[in-house]
Structure 1
Amino acid sequence: MPVAALFASVVITVRALELFRVLQLCCPRMGIQPFVRALCDIHSIAPRPYLSTQFSITYDVYLAILANVDARVQAALGRDTPNWRLKNACPACMYKLEGEVPIPLPFLATIDGNNSLKRFWRREREEFDADGKSVPGASKERLDNRVTPGDYYLPRDEVDKWSKEGLEELMRGFVPGSEVEDEGEGCTERWQNMKEDMTACVYGMYDETGIFPALCRHGFLLVVVDMVKSGELAKYGFAVTAHLLRVLGELGLGYDIGCKYGKMVRMHPALSSLTAGNNFRSLVGAFHGHAHNRQCQLSNLATYVSGMGLEDLEGCEKYFSQSNGLAATTRYATAFHRQQAITTYMKHADTVGAYQGLSLLLASKYRRALKIKGTLPLLQQTMASLGVETRSVFETWLQKEKVYLASLKKEPAHETLQMEYYQKLVNLRDHQERLDAIMGVETPFIPAPQDATYAQAAAQTRRIEMQRRHATEIRDKTLAGVQDLEIRLGGGPRWVPEDEEWVKAAAMLRNRRYQRALDELEGLVVARMFELSKVNMSDTGYKLRKHIAKALQARSKGVKSALDTYNTAAAALSPPRTPLTWDQIVDYAFLSDFDLLREGREDICDEPWAQPGGRLAMDQHFKLLRADEEIARLNLEIPRFITYMADEEAFLIHHEGRLRDNGNTVLAHQVWLQRRERGRFHALHMDRLVKLSKEPGFTASLLRGVSVNKEREVPAPPARNEDDDVEMPAATSAPREDGGEEEEDGGDGDVDVVADALEHILRITA
Structure 2
Amino acid sequence: MYIDEEHVGSGNESDGNVEEELQGQGTQESLRIQEDMAVFVANRNFHRYRTGQYRQRLDGRTWKHCICRLNKNWQPLIPALIDAYTTWKYSPPPHIVTYTDPDASPLVDGRDFDINILDIHDLARVAVIPCGEDDEGAVTLVRAGYLGCTPQRPSLAISLRTLKLFYTIRMFRPSFSIEAFTKVVCHVHSVTYRRGYRSAISDAFDTYIIIRRHLDSRVAHELGQDTQNYRVLNSCPPCNYELKDEPPLKFSRMFVLDGNNSLKRMQGAGNRQVADDRVYQDSDYFLPEEYVNQFGNEVPRGHTQTEDKDTEEPGLEQGGDPTDGQTSMSETSPLQKCTSNWKAAAGDAAKKMWDGFHETGIFASTCRHGFIIWLTDMIRSGELAKYLLAITAKALEVFGENMLIGYDIGCSFSETIAKTSLNEAFQKKKCRTCVNAFHGYSHNALCQQSFHPTHIKGMGLEDLETLERIFSQSNQLAAVTRYMSRYHRKVFIDLFFQQWDSDKYANLGTMLFNNYIQALHILETEAAELAHDLEQFNLTESDLEAMWVDQAGHFKELGKERAEEVNGVAYVELLQQLRDIEAALERSHTAFRIQEPEDFEQLPPLSSYSLGLSKTHKTETRRRFLGEKQDNVLWEILQMESQMDVQRRWTPLDSEYKAALKYMTERKYLQALENLHLLVIKWLFEMHKLNMLGTGYKMRTHIAQALQRRAKAIRNAVNEYNKHALMLYPPRGTLDWTKVTHFSFIDQFDILRDTRHNVFHEKWAQPLYRELMNRVHKVSRAREEIHRVNIELRCLHTRIVDEEKLFASTLEHLGGSLMLGPVLEYVTRRREVNKLLISRINATYNLPGFTGTPYPGESINPMHEPDTSLPTSPGHNAGSSNVPHSTPDDRQPQFEDDNSEDEGPLEDDNEFVDDMGKVVDFIAGL
Pair 378,104 (structure 1): closer, same or farther in 2 beyond 3 Å? same
Say whether residues 1:162 and 2:162 are aligned partners.
no
TM-score normalised by L of structure 1: 0.72
Return the offset for 1:150. Answer: 2.5
Which residue identity lines up with residue 239 of structure 2 in the other structure?
C
**Mapped pair 1:282 → 2:433:** yes
Preserved contact between residue 329 and residue 336 of structure 2 (Cα < 8 Å): no
Change (3 A) 1:165 1:696: closer
Offset at 1:49? 1.4
Aligned equivalents of 1:338 and 1:691: distance in 2?
41
Structure 1 residue aligned with 2:168, among 9, 13, 22? 22
Please tell me whether residue 652 in structure 1 is matched to residue 785 in structure 2.
Answer: no
Q: Is the CA contact 1:112–1:316 (under 8 Å) kept in the aligned structure 2?
A: yes
The answer on whether the counterparts of 2:835 and 2:897 sit within 8 Å (CA) in structure 1 is no
Q: For residue 826 of structure 2, what is the amino acid of its counterpart?
A: Q
Counterpart secondary structure, 1:370: helix
Pairing 1:710–2:876 present = no
Q: How many Å separate the matches in 1 of 2:346 and 2:755?
A: 29
Cα distance change on mapping 1:564 and 1:296 into 2, 3 Å: closer
> What are the equivalent positions in structure 2 for 1:448-527 lying under 5 Å apart?
501=660, 503-514=662-673, 516=675
Letter in 2 for 1:657: E
Matches within 5 A, 1:598-609: 601-609=756-764
1:455-475 per-residue CA deviation (whole Å, 9 max, x = no partner) reads xxxxxxxxxxxxxxxxxxxxx
Mapped partners of 1:144, 1:216: distance in 2: 33
Q: What is the SS of the residue equivalent to 1:680?
A: helix
8 Å CA contact 2:440, 2:448 repeated in 1: yes
Q: Work out the number of aligned pairs and report it.
A: 623
Q: How does 1:275-674 map to 2 (within 5 A)?
A: 275-351=426-502, 353-374=503-524, 375-388=526-539, 390-408=540-558, 410-411=560-561, 501=660, 503-514=662-673, 516=675, 582=741, 601-660=756-815, 663-664=816-817, 666-674=818-826
Shift of 1:681: 2.1
Aligned to 1:216: 367
* Structure 1 position 142, deviation (Å): 2.9
Match of 1:87 in 2: 233
**Residue 116 to residue 319, structure 1, CA distance change in 2 (3 Å):** same
Measure, in 1, the Cα distance between the counterparts of 2:404 and 2:220.
30
Hey, what's the Cα distance between the residues in 2 that align with 1:615 and 1:639?
A: 37
Q: 1:176 to 1:225 in 2, by over 3 A?
A: closer
Q: Provide the secondary structure at the position in 2 that maps to 1:282.
A: strand
Specify the alignment match of 2:265 in structure 1: 119
Instruction: Please give the alpha-carbon distance, in whole angstroms, between the structure 2 residues aligned to 1:285 and 1:556.
Output: 18
With structure 2 as the length reference, what TM-score do the two structures score? 0.60
Which residues in structure 2 correspond to 1:180-191 (within 5 Å)?
Answer: 184-191=335-342
Counterpart position of 1:754: none
In structure 2, C-alpha distance between the alignment counterparts of 1:420 and 1:355, rounded to whole Å:
66
Identify the match of residue 685 of structure 1 among 837, 849, 873: 837
Aligned to 2:896: 760
> Which region of structure 1 is more displaced relative to structure 2, 503-512 or 309-318?
503-512
Q: Identity over aligned residues, as a percent? A: 29
| Secondary structure of the corresponding residue to residue 255 of structure 2 | strand
Match of 2:196 in 1: 50
Query: Residue 71 of structure 1: which of 203, 217, 225 is its match?
Result: 217
Deviates more, 1:502-511 or 1:604-613: 502-511
The CA deviation at 1:167 is 3.9
Task: Give 1:224 shift.
Answer: 0.6
The 8 Å contact of residues 110 and 254 in structure 1, kept in 2 or not, is answered as yes
Aligned to 1:141: 274
1:410/1:385 Cα in 2 relative to 1: closer, same or farther (>3 Å)? same
Separation in structure 1 between the aligned mates of residue 219 and residue 492 of structure 2, nearest angstrom: 22
Structure 2 counterpart of 1:711, one-letter code? M
- Displacement of 1:511: 3.9
* CA distance in 2 between partners of 1:107 and 1:369 (Å): 19
TM-aligned CA distance change 1:359 to 1:582, over 3 Å: farther
**Change in CA separation of 1:623 and 1:709 when aligned onto 2, cut-off 3 Å:** same
Which residues in structure 2 correspond to 1:252-291 (within 5 Å)?
252-269=404-421, 271-291=422-442
- Deviation, 1:166, is 5.0
Which protein shows a greater Rg? Answer: 2
Q: Specify whether residues 267 and 364 from structure 1 end up closer, same or farther in structure 2 by C-alpha distance, changes over 3 A only.
A: same
Partner of 1:740: none
CA deviations on 1:538-560 (whole Å, 9 max, x unpaired) are 9xxxxxxxxx99xx99x999887
Deviations 1:414-454 (A, max 9, x none): 8679999999xxxxxxxxxxxxxxxxxxxxxxxxxxxxxxx
Distance 1:622 1:103 in 2: 18
Tell me the CA shift for residue 501 of structure 1. 4.6
Query: 2 CA distance for matches of 1:391 and 1:354?
Result: 37
- Partners of 1:190 and 1:292 within 8 A in 2: no
Match of 2:246, SS? Answer: coil
Quote the offset at 1:398 in angstroms.
1.6
In 2, are the aligned partners of 1:123 and 1:141 still within 8 Å (CA)? no
1:345 Cα deviation after fit:
0.3
Aligned residue for 1:187, secondary structure, equals: helix
Residue 143 and residue 718 in structure 1: after superposition, are their counterparts in 2 closer, same or farther (change >3 A)? closer
* Contact 2:346 2:382 (8 Å CA) reproduced: no
Q: Which amino acid in the other structure matches residue 326 of structure 1? A: L
Deviates most, 141-150 or 258-267: 141-150
The structure-2 alpha-carbon separation of the partners of 1:649 and 1:600, relative to structure 1 and needing over 3 Å to count, comes to farther
Distance of 2:633 and 2:504 partners within structure 1: 64
Partner of residue 849, structure 2: 697
| Whole-Å separation in 2 of the counterparts to 1:301 and 1:693 | 31
Alignment correspondent of 1:6: 152
Deviations 1:651-690 (A, max 9, x none): 1232022112xx31x3111111212333222232222232
SS in 2 for 1:189: helix
Partner amino acid, structure 2, of 1:407: E
Deviation, 1:304, is: 1.9
Aligned amino acid, residue 409 of structure 2? I
**In 1, Cα distance between the equivalents of 2:752 and 2:482?**
47
Bigger Cα displacement from structure 2, 100-109 vs 500-509: 500-509
**Separation (CA, whole Å) in 2 of partners of 1:763 and 1:27:** 28
Contact persistence 1:246–1:274 (CA under 8 A): no
Partner SS state of residue 710, structure 1: coil
* Cα pair 1:286 1:313 within 8 Å, conserved: yes
Per the alignment, do residues 668 and 420 of structure 1 end up closer, same or farther by CA in structure 2, a change over 3 Å counting? farther
1:231 equivalenced with 2:364 (yes/no)? no
Contact 1:286 / 1:302 at 8 angstroms: preserved in 2? yes
Structure 1 residue 292 displacement after superposition: 1.3
Q: Secondary structure at the match of 1:253?
A: strand
